[in-house]
Structure 1
Amino acid sequence: MRKLLVFIPLVAFLGLGIFLFKGLFMDPRTLPSALIDKPFPEFSLPSLYNMDETLTQLDLQGEVALLNVWATWCPTCKEEHAQLNKIGLEEGVTIYGLNYKDDPELARQWLERYLDPYRKVIVDEEGYLGLDLGVYGAPETYIIDKKGIIRYRHVGEVNESVWLHLRELMQTIEKEDA
């Protein structure tokens, strides 16, 4: 019995080594989401443009669209904003914004200054919707299909190469929904 106890550290070391070795080949930008292929979480939150207007998950249905989680305190959100303007304003892609744990007045000023690519912006001051989505931090971008089902999640900045991938996915989803 004592001879077997000698091997416990060796087995633990090998197990840890295999776990760490596997991690070397994983993409750190890919975070699992339990919500893929599930309906967008139910919510009832104010619109950034009219705080008396209440938005719900039903407002995100009807077409394949992006939902971008952003905040004025997020430096990466500012970096990606020019790309979002190109996608939303120039290419006409529907983008919904989720203003995450932010001051609505600062968010309105920010969009006035840097332009507004969003069709609607949901105010999530307390971060409860972000919590329901499993948001790690801003920015994050989701693809939502016509029925309000989350089909894809991207963590981090949307740049030109990410956009090419997202656009291809959106086109595939639109064909599936047709």
Structure 2
Amino acid sequence: MAKFSPLMAVPIVVFASFVGLAVTGMYREDPDSLPSAREGQPAPPVVLSEFVGKELFDDADLRDGEVKLVNYWASWCAPCRVEHPNLEALSQEGLTIYGVNYKDQQDNAASFLEELGDPYTAIGRDEKGRMALDWGVYGVPETYVVDGNGKIILRFAGPITQRVIKNTLRPAIEKARGN
């Protein structure tokens, strides 16, 4: 009979650890969502360049007492094109949406809005992506629900679809209105 060596337990412990991590990851509330360190915190400073011909928004606009969305987008972003009609619909409902044009060329971004419509109450340009870094943006599109005090209630990475509006955005907007 072979003697038991502590080294024989190492593969079993390693395997059990991997299984534990996998199971933990599978049972997150939403396994597809990216974590956000900004939820529940004040929105970082708004530092944007002018989007020629459009109204610019600032920190005070995020703290005006009203719930709003902050949407990071770019003309070169295919999912931004997909979500755009849904942003238009939300805007037509009266929801304030601030746009952050991310690492884009002004002319391309203006053509995008001319072609698809402009759902934004105000827009600014984040040409180098510095504001996006402060907000924790992974990539575009990303949308934040911000309450009337400027606190981030929700960060959603990916295109806003009808399902996202129903299951994710509307509950977050109602929560923001309750704050």
For the aligned pair, the TM-score class normalised by the smaller chain equals 0.7 to 0.9
Aligned equivalent of 2:88: 85
Q: Find the aligned partners of 2:118 and 2:153 in 1 and give their Cα distance.
A: 24
Q: Find the aligned partners of 2:44 and 2:89 in 1 and give their Cα distance.
A: 28
Deviation at 1:119, TM superposition (A): 0.7
RMSD: 2.0
- Given the alignment of the two structures, is residue 14 of structure 1 paired with residue 16 of structure 2, yes or no? yes
Per mean C-alpha deviation after superposition, the further-off stretch among 138-147 and 19-28 is: 19-28
TM-score normalised over the length of structure 2: 0.87
Give SS of 1:29's match: coil
Tell me the matched-pair count.
173
Q: Find the aligned partners of 1:157 and 1:21 in 2 and give their Cα distance.
A: 28
2:176 to 155, 163, 173: 173
Deviation at 1:55, TM superposition (A): 4.5
Q: 5 Å matches for 1:1-178?
A: 3-26=5-28, 27-50=30-53, 55-62=57-64, 63-88=66-91, 90-165=92-167, 166-174=169-177, 176-177=178-179
Q: Find the aligned partners of 2:32 and 2:51 in 1 and give their Cα distance.
A: 29
Deviation at 1:131, TM superposition (A): 1.0
**Structure 1, unaligned runs of 5 or more:** none
Going from structure 1 to structure 2, the CA distance change for 1:117 and 1:55 (only over 3 Å counts) comes to closer
Residue deviations 1:17-45 (CA, integer Å, cap 9, x gap): 21123333343431111111111111322
TM-score normalised over the length of structure 1: 0.88
Q: Find the aligned partners of 2:160 and 2:60 in 1 and give their Cα distance.
A: 25
Give SS of 1:98's match: strand
Residue deviations 1:99-151 (CA, integer Å, cap 9, x gap): 11111221111111110000111211111111111111111111001111111
**Structure 2, unaligned runs of 5 or more:** none
Judge conservation of contact 1:80–1:157 (CA < 8 Å) in 2: yes
Q: Find the aligned partners of 2:19 and 2:175 in 1 and give their Cα distance.
A: 39
